[in-house]
Structure 1
Amino acid sequence: MSAGNVVLTVTPNPAVDVTYTVAGISLGSSHRVPTPLYRAGGKGLNVSRVAHQLGHPTLAIATVGGPSGEQFRQDLESSGILHHLVPVAAATRRTIALVDTAADNTTSIFNEAGPALGAAEWQALAAAVVDNLGGVQTPDGVRRPGVLVGSGSLPDQAPADFYPALVALAHAAGVPAIIDTSGSGILAAARAGADLLKPNNHELMEAVGERDLVSAARKLMDLGARRVLVSVGEEGMLAFSADAPGTCLQAKLPAPLSGNPTGAGDAAVSAAAVALANGETELREILRQATAWSAAAVLMPGAGEISPQHTELAKQLIITDH
């Protein structure tokens, strides 16, 4: 494990990702498929996976329950990612991906709804966050967390203030907070003063009710967000800072990459988290790394991993002021 502060991730609605590969799908018919791939999933887990792959210390906090939760635990243990799993009564949900190799690997995804947690289970999850904000036990000894990342959707009947509460806990511990979610959760995290929000362009405009991307990002900063990174597909990524609300930066590659965009946003969050965890506050550098890691994720078949080409991609980026 490398030197550096720990990237602490929280995934309140994790899933076991189940991927089936089939050579041609005929609706209404039976199909023989190889044994599927089972993987501990969820946006925060993907953030931790990418950081772990590149040698940055990370700890993933999530809930687990039932037989699917045991699969989740086993995958994390075999991956070597440090984790703190909070037991809950309901079985961990699954996301099922059908990859059709006869149709250029077209992928259909079926996301189960997250099971509701009890009040005591929410309290246990919050307690796990508080405990690890005080210091993370790693193989090298106790390390200071450098950033807290809250990622993904919330399960049914979740507390509306879950993500704002994470921001408050992080700030009370002197740690920056990154939130990556959608809908009203983005607005709530902005009001709580999140240090960085990471929506894509569709999530941002839908949450804010704006058709203009720049105006939408500035509304988040008006609410209290310190920085906003926005993925804009082939146009790369935009970065905004409350320190310079009248301007923004754009980073893009000379030509778009073809590949699998699943997990690209999580890779961008991982890059931003590693940067903030280790004291990097320069918006241009955060944007450069986030865009490069995001692009490198597109070159990989699954979420939670990036191509070694991320260093070269960072050099190719065109960064402009707007």
Structure 2
Amino acid sequence: MIISITMNPSVDISYPMEEFTLDTVNRVKNVTKTAGGKGLNVARVLHQTKAEVLASGMIGGHLGEFIETELEKEGIQHHFFAINGQSRNCIAILHEKKQTEILEQGPVITEEEAEHFLKFFEQLIEQADLLTFSGSLPAGLSDDYYAKLIHLCNKKNKDVILDCSGKALQEVLSKKDKPLLIKPNKEELAALIGKPVQISVGELKNILSSSLFDDIEWVVVSMGKNGAFAKHRNTFYQVTIPKIGVINPVGSGDATIAGFAQSLANYQSDETILKHGNALGMLNAQEKITGRVNMQNYHNLVDQIKVTQV
């Protein structure tokens, strides 16, 4: 089983409008509300690919209950840790081919809740073959909280895919316990090394060979329409993807993580891991709804992805 962790899930609200005008009333008809958060997108895609997946993390209040209800409607297994605070709303206003987002911070986690979650999590991971951690940490949790979770996983020999950025990622990289795979994009990689990143094989090989990434088996740099660049132990790969018609790119990174998780859990080849992850990411980009993939298009797409050792 793959367990997908979302520490700060949300109710994602979409307001499609022909026009959005400031300082006046804007009315909207077709509102959609879904269980959101990067890790829930991962779980949703895994569920669509028929993988056995469990969604977990922290939720609270009536919005947390809504998240659980929505997952149940989709048939996605879940087991969350209940907190006293209220889970958050995240609003996307779709207007004039633009997207304006209003993201609530979410609940503030108490020290007691943080400690109790560690005990809850230690029991939860017993049933996992592999875990994914996605997204930001809620307020109240220390920057090294993901590092604490990874330490618990490593003690039980459970592999972890980590998809986060900023201080939380920096803390993990500074600790002895490492995840199996991380997936920074170009901007996140630049923030880690403190300078802009040029998309060239030579520079990417040099950056990923630095001591910053020691003991992380997989580092995959996602580069949007330019595909990806990956390091698996001491082998480097360039991933070239076909041009596609993009409808909604939001959540494509989460779908990619889902693909990596599924292939890694099944001990597949490097080429298959990279192709499967990137194919699911592109399938998500071709759908209007975030966290959706049309598997009927899978084989046509995956056959066009090229993985080259460099």
Using the size of structure 1 for normalisation, the TM-score is 0.88
1:189 aligns with 2:176: no
Which amino acid counterpart does residue 255 of structure 1 have in structure 2?
K
How many Å separate the matches in 2 of 1:37 and 1:170? 36
For 1:28, the equivalent position in structure 2 comes to 23
| Aligned with residue 278 of structure 1, among 241, 246, 266 | 266
Contact 1:230 1:237 in 2 (8 A): yes
How many Å separate the matches in 1 of 2:38 and 2:272? 23
Which amino acid counterpart does residue 124 of structure 1 have in structure 2?
H
Shift of 1:181: 0.1
User: Cα 1:95–1:218, aligned 2, differ >3 Å: closer, same or farther?
Assistant: farther
1:148-196 per-position Cα deviation (integer Å, ceiling 9, x unaligned): 1111011123122211122222222222111000012223333422110
Which amino acid counterpart does residue 320 of structure 1 have in structure 2?
T
Contact 2:111 2:140 in 1 (8 A): no
For 2:228, the equivalent position in structure 1 comes to 237
For 2:252, the equivalent position in structure 1 comes to 264
Using the size of structure 2 for normalisation, the TM-score is 0.91
Contact 1:7 1:149 in 2 (8 A): yes
1:68 aligns with 2:63: yes
Shift >6 Å, 4+ stretches: none
Shift of 1:12: 0.9
Contact 2:189 2:197 in 1 (8 A): no
How many Å separate the matches in 2 of 1:276 and 1:16? 29
Contact 1:275 1:286 in 2 (8 A): yes
How many Å separate the matches in 1 of 2:108 and 2:209? 34
Aligned length, in residue pairs: 301
For 2:239, the equivalent position in structure 1 comes to 251
* Alignment gaps of 5+ in structure 2: 199-203
1:126 aligns with 2:111: no
- Percent of residue pairs bearing the same amino acid type: 29
Give the SS at the match of 1:316: coil
For 1:3, the equivalent position in structure 2 comes to none
Cα RMSD of the aligned pairs, angstroms, is: 1.8
Contact 2:86 2:106 in 1 (8 A): no
Which amino acid counterpart does residue 252 of structure 2 have in structure 1?
A
Contact 1:179 1:189 in 2 (8 A): no
Shift of 1:197: 0.2
Contact 1:146 1:278 in 2 (8 A): no
How many Å separate the matches in 2 of 1:148 and 1:195? 10
1:15-55 per-position Cα deviation (integer Å, ceiling 9, x unaligned): 11111122221222212212521111111111100000111
How many Å separate the matches in 1 of 2:245 and 2:147? 35
Shift of 1:258: 2.3
1:115 aligns with 2:98: no
Which amino acid counterpart does residue 278 of structure 2 have in structure 1?
T
1:47-100 per-position Cα deviation (integer Å, ceiling 9, x unaligned): 100000111010011211122222212111212110011111111011101112
Give the SS at the match of 2:210: helix
Write out aligned runs for 1:1-322 (5 A).
6-34=1-29, 36-100=31-95, 103-104=96-97, 106-135=98-127, 145-190=128-173, 191=175, 192-212=177-197, 214=204, 215-219=206-210, 222-244=213-235, 248-280=236-268, 282-308=269-295, 309-322=297-310
Contact 1:38 1:71 in 2 (8 A): no
